Amino acid sequence: MEMLNPYPKPKHWLGLLPGKWRLLYCTGRHIGLTLRQPSVRVLIREAYLTISKVSKPNTTFSVASHISFTVMAGRDWAHDKSGVGGKLQVDSFFRLRAGRRLYLKEETISSKFPSATPDAQASVLKRLSSKKWRKAIPINKIPSSLSVAKLVSDEIDVMMSLNEPLSGNMEVAQKAIQEVRTQIPPEMFDLSKIICGTYLDSRLLVLRSVNGSALFFHRCTNDS
């Protein structure tokens, strides 16, 4: 997918990047709703990024991570999910730069991770060489690097709020934020972990974190 990126140069991102982007999926490790028994039951409502262009310099963007959630009373999941609402917001600034993302070669992967499937790249290349994909990606081998939009972050500012009657309960607030961080990718809390963008079009955005995880976002419209 990253090889199909229609806008690999940062100059193309200046006009497309601003907007509201809802988090769809993350390839990293995080825990959603499971059979575990959390100390506070939290239901995630929305998680999205709001990216705005700063006037000067023109390659700088303000980025705000918004997470809305509901804290529910009791130890069991109730059918009525109308608990106490809460919001978490993380603000930062990003500078856009040109960069490249390196991809490990098969022999490097095999030496570092012996359990990795040795014919993984061969399987991918076989699919890409099919008639369906040949015109879109005319390649004979997977490239060792790709052009990306490098994102250099500034300091972050974190704000959290809980509605009544939990707004003054510090213990519940701490447990709630811990549970939110369990369910949401860490990059949504520490924006400095996001280091580059590898795919962007009018509807889809893919960002990469420092540990290699990919975060997929969908552009929100006025009706969504």
Predicted TM-score of the model (pTM): 0.80
Helix (H) or strand (E) holding 89: strand 84-102
What is the reported pLDDT for 195?
93
Q: What is the residue type of 186?
A: P
What is the reported pLDDT for 119?
61
How far from each other are the two terminal CA atoms of the chain, in whole angstroms? 25
Helix (H) or strand (E) holding 209: strand 204-209
pLDDT by residue (tens digit) across 1-22? 788 888 888 888 999 999 999 9
pLDDT by residue (tens digit) across 41-80? 889 999 999 999 987 777 899 999 999 999 987 666 667 7
pLDDT by residue (tens digit) across 83-111? 899 999 999 999 999 988 887 665 444 44
Angstrom distance (rounded) from CA 148 to CA 94:
15
Closest C-alpha among 38, 35, 49, 26 to residue 174: 38
What is the reported pLDDT for 103?
72
Q: Could you count the other beta carbons within 10 Å of the beta carbon of residue 46?
A: 12
